[in-house]
Structure 1
Amino acid sequence: MSIILSLETSTHVCSVALHADGASLASAVTYREQSHASKLAVLVDQVLSLADVTMAQLGAVAVSSGPGSYTGLRIGTSTAKGLCYALNIPLIGVGALDSLALAAGPFNTSRALLCPMIDARRMEVYCQLLDAEYNAVSPVEAKVIDAESFRTQLEAGPVLFFGNGAAKCQGVIQHKNAFFLADVHPTADTVGTLAWEKFRRNETEDLVTFEPFYLKEFMIKAPATPEVAAAANKTA
């Protein structure tokens, strides 16, 4: 029996799950923002206890590989890599948008195109289009949303939008074929489901070189110089 521990930290939701040969054993989640650093290890201990599984029984660790929150992805990746190094077991990376699409799949009764969206601030989202069988129709991209976004696909048929980036787009994308699904998040449960398939195909990551797929560079705003701050105060 192969047991996989899965971690999902790409959004404000932090979750952990255990699967044995693809079957769910236990899962735990917190929706508290900015809690990944303090809660991830707690959730790992919780699911191991719930399933009566020890660290030594793990066959692999899976982690959401992004795109998503820079800080969240760093925390999830460093935790996963640390466990894999310590236990000498493989690491499996699972795309956050793939995980999100799988979570929304059961609600896709019209067999619409699936458009998972992760918030990338302002009117930008990380997104991808997939068909009802989860095959990619478009590449993963960082997209600024306006009234013309996805116009070609919407003219052709229904598109289901979901994820924490979709809500802010609902007032902008108002085509008759645009449908929005609330409260769908990437979860460790769907990460584990996808990770099992990768594990069976021996699709694992290089522990030394693996890095999350950030899609965009993390931008750190430099503090204003005294001269710039003074100028800003004069124009305020």
Structure 2
Amino acid sequence: MTVLGIETTTDVCGVALNRNGVQLDSIVKNEKHIHAAQLVPMIENLLSRNQLKVFELDGIAVSIGPGSFTGLRIGLSVAKGLAYSSHLPLAAVSTLQSLAYPVWKTIPATESIILSVTEIQRDEFAYALFRAIDFIENHVPDFHLITKNEKETVEKIFENPLHHFLLCGFQAEKFYSMFCSENRNVSFAGKEFNACSATSIASLGERYLERNVIADVSSLEPVYGKNFIAKKSNLFSRITQ
């Protein structure tokens, strides 16, 4: 199974190809405000240098948030357009699960808990908890929003001394300093687990599609974390011509 992954949740604009659980190739640009101009050319370049056409893919996977309003809207618009025009299944991947995915691959299937976070606005975070033992099954995770004035809310999560939490995600260091620095039950997973990754989106998307967890292209909407009115985009049209 060959899957194209699209990641546009933050300043990272990335596309990746996975085949049968193995990363084939990826293109990543970490710049602000480039998604609208760069996403389609990046997909074209990635497919071309791997001698693939869109219709030869087995599916599309896209990060659906929570995250940046504009980035999510652009990424999902392109993904839905490609899936619809080429009759491909679409996997909608939680940004928080994709951020936790590289951590999950490094830990044993124990009772360890992954705390995945992303900053959606200044000093405002979305977070979700994932158990290692049923990580893949939790493909629609509950997530919560928290601001810098709600430290007590986070502290309640860590009250059980039997659980150890691994913190990862976009601006995880900032989250740690704001909410977790005094708690011994929380460990920072490391800087290598801080960035959104199209490869993780493609990998998780492949797992979803293998389990027939397929999104409804017509009704799928981004998970912004805030109320937002999305506008339609035709950015995908060039690739399908």
Query: TM-score with structure 1 length normalisation?
Result: 0.82
The structure with higher relative contact order (CA 8 Å, sep 6+) is 2
Work out the CA distance in 1 between the residues paired with 2:106 and 2:6.
23
Q: Please, which of 158, 167, 179 is the counterpart of residue 187 of structure 2?
A: 179
Q: Please, which of 209, 212, 229 is the counterpart of residue 222 of structure 2?
A: 212
Aligned residue for 1:90?
89
Given that residues 170 and 196 in structure 2 are in contact (C-alpha distance below 8 angstroms), is that contact kept between their aligned partners in structure 1?
no
Shift in Å, 1:27:
1.1
Are residues 1:125 and 2:135 paired? no
Q: What letter corresponds to residue 28 of structure 1 in structure 2?
A: I
Q: Which range moved further: 174-183 or 190-199?
A: 174-183
> Which ranges of 4 or more aligned residues in structure 1 deviate by more than 3 Å?
106-112
Work out the CA distance in 2 between the residues paired with 1:206 and 1:106.
28
1:159–1:206 Cα change, 3 Å? same
Percent of aligned pairs with the same amino acid: 31
Work out the CA distance in 2 between the residues paired with 1:65 and 1:208.
14
Output one character per residue of 1:173-203: Cα deviation in whole Å (capped at 9) or x when no partner.
2212222232422211111111112212222
Aligned residue for 2:239?
none
SS in 1 for 2:10: coil
- Give 5+ residue unaligned stretches, structure 1: 220-236
Are residues 1:140 and 2:143 paired? yes
TM alignment of 1:66-77, pairs within 5 A: 66-77=65-76
Count of aligned pairs between the two proteins: 217
Shift in Å, 1:22:
2.9
Return the index of the structure with the highest Cα Rg: 1
Shift in Å, 1:127:
0.7
Q: What letter corresponds to residue 222 of structure 2 in structure 1?
A: P
Q: What letter corresponds to residue 74 of structure 1 in structure 2?
A: R
Given that residues 26 and 50 in structure 1 are in contact (C-alpha distance below 8 angstroms), is that contact kept between their aligned partners in structure 2?
no
Aligned residue for 1:56?
55
- Give 5+ residue unaligned stretches, structure 2: 230-241
Given that residues 126 and 141 in structure 1 are in contact (C-alpha distance below 8 angstroms), is that contact kept between their aligned partners in structure 2?
yes
Work out the CA distance in 2 between the residues paired with 1:44 and 1:193.
17
Query: TM-score with structure 2 length normalisation?
Result: 0.81
Q: Please, which of 161, 168, 174 is the counterpart of residue 174 of structure 2?
A: 168
Aligned residue for 1:16?
15
1:84–1:147 Cα change, 3 Å? closer
